Amino acid sequence: MADPAGYKLSNVLLGHTGDVRGVAVTQDGAVLSASRDKTAKLWRLDSTHPMAVQTYKGHTNYVSCVCAVPPSDTYPEGLVLSGSNDHSICAFNPATAELLFVLEGHTNVVCSVNLTSEGFVLSSSWDNTARVWTDKTEIMKLEGHSASVWSAIELPGSKLLVTASADKSIKIWEGPKCQKTITGHEDCVRGLAGVSLNEFLSCANDATVRMWTVNGDCLGVFYGHSNYIYSIALLPDKSGFVTSGEDSSVRIWKSDGETQQVIQMQCQSIWAVTVLPNGDVAAGCSDNVVRVFSKDSSRHAEQSELEKFDEEVSNFGKSKGDELGEIKVNDLPTEAALLAPGTKDGQTKLIRDGTEIICYNWSAAQNQWIKVGPVVGAKNPTDGRTMFEGKEYDFVFSVDVEEGNPPLKLPFNKTEDPYTAAQAFIHKNNLSQYYLDTIANFIIKNAGITTMPAAPHGTFVDPFTGGSRYVPGSSMQSTGPTSANPDPFTGGSSYTSAAGNSEIAAASNSSQHHYHLFEQGKAEVMANKIQEFNKTCLLPLSEEAIFKAVALHDPNAPAEESAVRTLQALLAWDKDKLFPVLDLLRLALRNRAVNDAICSGPFMKNFIDIVLRPSLTNQAPELTRLTALRVVTNMVAHPAGEKLAQENAEFFLNCATQLTLPNDNPNARQQVAVATVLFNYSVAFLKGQTDVQKLVYPLALTILPRLTDMEAKNRMLRTISNFLGKSNQAMFAQAADKKLSDELAVLIAEPKTSELASQLLSILP
């Protein structure tokens, strides 16, 4: 019985461990799903608690699309076809999950797989082509797009093929010959749905759905989504259609393009939708779940499940905070702004309603603003920003680097540091570092920048070299401690002298002394460097997987299991490519879930033996060695890492000794990193962890004279001071030999160490 309220949750299909990127339906109403967990699954919905009845395994990378082939004489049970990031299409027996054969020919990710009326397989790929297959043989290649082909379909009742591409165009094909190229979308065209033999629908990253004829006439532009639209499917009897996208929603549309219902979800990306023979809608989601919705009240979930679903959606909306991209909710206008008419049909306007953001479209025909619905975590696609490679920017510059070659695209946001953006551009395009100032000045001039964005701690530090840079028009700033004693290496506070008392008041919380400087824009630079190295791997990871892993740099970000697994996979890289991954790791270890996953459990041994041991030797590249020391520094941010640091203290301290031998002549950054590792161990001593602390104090006395950097010496003095507090003097003071006194006498003359050296001298016998 149809519910007048529309579609409601019917089933939640749990079993995948990665994003569900594709969904399809079999002839008998079962649901097929494709996931980043490298599998496809078949689900039967004819039970109270549906579950996957088959799991299809055979791909070596993410499964991106799936399709059902009806029974035939050759394959009496039909086939399940799945396309993957491993560039192949696998064919399985639906009943037994046996891998029957593999279609190979595409040279990049397979984006879609469908059937033609004659039973041929039609596929599309990031290799800019679509292909037609019969049984196990490729019989046709459709070439002509200049970017990835996201979708390929056959129009019903016709042998015409239609392809949609990231080059913003749609092509109509008769056989291998392109009959028509259709343009109109302003960004990547992601999905297609055939309406009749000469009409079809398309959806795109420009947040629109468009109706076309095969002659290229646009019959309508339909607005509703507030972000990318990934997938589109027709409802039964062509009474309407359904779409899904990056704005956390599935939308039900009437055939005339009017939004009939918006189904909000509790995850950001709804990658794919399909319609079952009974009219139910299945959606593949970025939280690893397939959700099925029905208009038939007899197929609705229990009331408790419906309430749980509504609560999860509400909580997800709240967790997105009070910003929409870079737009603050409080900066948006109220409903009073709707009193002013729109300037063009389909114009979008965002309105603040309490803590919610509501999207309205202007209808020229009705001469009024039409409420579309709430917006969750999305950006206004009409705010004048420019799309580039799936992201929005204030500017996308064309930069002529070499005469005779096409210009390169340089994306930039006003909130970025121009030098950070320039560095990312250099890494991505393998340009000489010589261009840094030229490119940065180009950005400053063309973006109309008059003041540089303020970076945390007031200084730029390259995430890979640690070096600073000169900003035109700026003056050199001191990086020494202020009266509040900020730690120039960690940004955290350091201990202070107790007023009127010669006793050293030692730090009591080691978590305040971790290296955590991560400036705005660095995530993109780090991601670009990792992507650069990833492209040279035999089995590269996907770009999306790497960006999810890079997101772990935020200590408060949710640590998705798939992102942690990607980070663990990256840590298996050769040591000459490992430094940007280690740079990500030392930041991610501040996230408790990541710290637990890396520093305990099955991965812990690999972390010590395969990652850290080779990286903490004089034979490792300098950047790898330095960043590995910073990883050790941040391990103790949470109990799992602190425990691991204690259990392996002898190993880490031995590495510190080896890395500061006189013949090694470590640079200043490495000296500071070694001193910080020892300082953290001294803090652990103050917390009562005394098992290995007798190793730390004599080692600090040994290393101090080897150091040449004053900040490193300052840290080592602080380490020593933690053992020479009032309650511990009797234990350690006698171990201090004349060499320490001589060293302190020299350091009294240095501004950075004079006060501390004087206090320590007063304690020594």
Higher pLDDT, 347 or 610: 610
pLDDT at 728: 56
pLDDT of residue 184: 93
pLDDT over threshold 60, residue 488: no
244 vs 405, residue with greater confidence: 244
- Of 334 and 601, the structure prediction assigns the larger pLDDT to 601
Whole-number pLDDT of residue 703 = 84
Return the minimum-mean-pLDDT range out of 31-40, 417-426, 459-468, 604-613: 459-468
pLDDT confidence bin for 492, thresholds 50/70/90: very low
Please give the pLDDT value at position 89: 97
**Segment 22-69, tens digit of pLDDT:** 999 999 899 999 999 999 999 998 766 677 889 999 999 999 999 999
Q: What is the C-alpha to C-alpha distance for residues 709 and 729, in angstroms, rounded to an integer?
A: 27
Sheet with 137-143: strands ordered across: 110-115, 121-125, 129-134, 137-143
Distance CA 223, CA 258 (A): 9
pLDDT of 282 strictly over 50: yes
CB-based contact 167:184 (threshold 8 Å): no
Residue 381 CA, chain-centre distance (Å), reads 21
The arithmetic mean of pLDDT across residues 310-331, rounded, is: 64
Give the separation between CA 154 and CA 141, rounded to whole angstroms.
15
* pLDDT digit string, tens, across residues 731-749: 555 555 566 777 787 787 7
Mean pLDDT calculated for residue range 400-425:
70
DSSP 612: I
For position 532, what pLDDT does the model report? 83
pLDDT band at residue 512 using 50, 70 and 90 as cut-offs: very low
Domains of the chain as residue ranges with CATH: 17-235 (2.130.10.10), 386-453 (3.10.20.870), 514-647 (1.25.10.10), 650-765 (1.25.10.10)
b/e burial code for range 230-258 (CB count within 10 A of at least 16 → b): bbbbbbeeeebbbbbbbbbbbbbbebebe
Instruction: Tell me what pLDDT residue 261 has.
Output: 92
| Interacting residues of 652 by C-beta distance below 8 A, sequence separation 6+ | 616, 632, 645, 677
Which amino acid is it at 716? Answer: M
Distance CA 497, CA 503 (A): 7
Kindly state the tokens that stand for 51. 């579950």
Asked whether the CA dihedral 481, 484, 487, 490 is positive or negative, the reply is negative
Range scoring the smallest mean pLDDT among 111-120, 184-193, 595-604: 595-604
Q: What is residue 295's predicted lDDT score, i.e. its pLDDT?
A: 93
Q: Tokens 């991560």 belong to which residue? A: 518
Three-class secondary structure of residue 20 per DSSP: strand
- Of the candidate ranges 37-41, 263-267, 366-370, 405-409, the one whose mean pLDDT is the lowest: 405-409
Angle at 509 between CA 503 and CA 513, to 5 degrees: 100
Q: Does residue 763 sit in helix, strand or coil? A: helix
Question: Which of 94-103, 331-340, 451-460, 663-672 has the weakest average pLDDT?
Answer: 451-460
Q: Is the pLDDT of residue 82 over 90?
A: yes
Predicted confidence at residue 475, as pLDDT, reads: 28
What pLDDT digit, counting tens, does each position of 524-565 carry?
667 778 888 888 877 788 888 888 888 888 888 788 888 888
pTM of the complete model? 0.49
C-alpha 587: how far from its chain's center? Answer: 15
Owner of token pair 């139910």: 280
pLDDT digits (tens, 9 = 90+) for 343-399: 666 666 777 776 666 767 677 777 787 776 665 443 333 344 565 655 667 777 766
The rounded distance, in Å, linking the Cα atoms of 713 and 706 is: 9
User: Is-contact 195 211, C-beta < 8 A?
Assistant: yes
Strand partners, 291: 12, 283
pLDDT at 427: 66
d(CA 90, CA 40): 10
Helix (H, G, I), strand (E, B) or coil at 558: coil
Q: Please report the pLDDT score of residue 456 as a whole number.
A: 34
Residue that is written with structure tokens 């063309």 in the block: 446
Checking 85-90 for CB contacts under 8 A at 24+ apart, the result is 85/59, 85/61, 85/109, 85/110, 85/542, 86/59, 86/60, 86/61, 87/125, 87/127, 88/59, 89/113, 89/121, 89/123, 89/133, 90/56, 90/58, 90/59
The answer to whether the Cα torsion of 179, 185, 186, 190 is positive or negative is negative
Task: Find how far residue 159's CA is from the centre of its chain.
Answer: 40
- Which candidate, 273, 268, 289, 227, places its Cα nearest to that of 548? 268
Q: Residue 137 pairs with which residues in a beta bridge?
A: 134
Handedness of CA 61, 67, 68, 73 (dihedral sign): negative
To 10 degrees, what angle do helices 561-570 and 579-588 make? Answer: 140
Higher pLDDT, 487 or 723: 723
pLDDT at residue 173 greater than cutoff 60? yes
Find the range with the poorest average confidence among 114-128, 241-255, 431-445: 431-445
Check residue 254 and give its pLDDT: 92
* Mean pLDDT, rounded, of the chain: 78
114-131 tens-digit pLDDT = 999 999 999 999 999 999
Q: How far is CA 86 from the centre of its chain?
A: 20
Contact 668, 712 (CB under 8 A): yes
Higher pLDDT, 467 or 388: 388
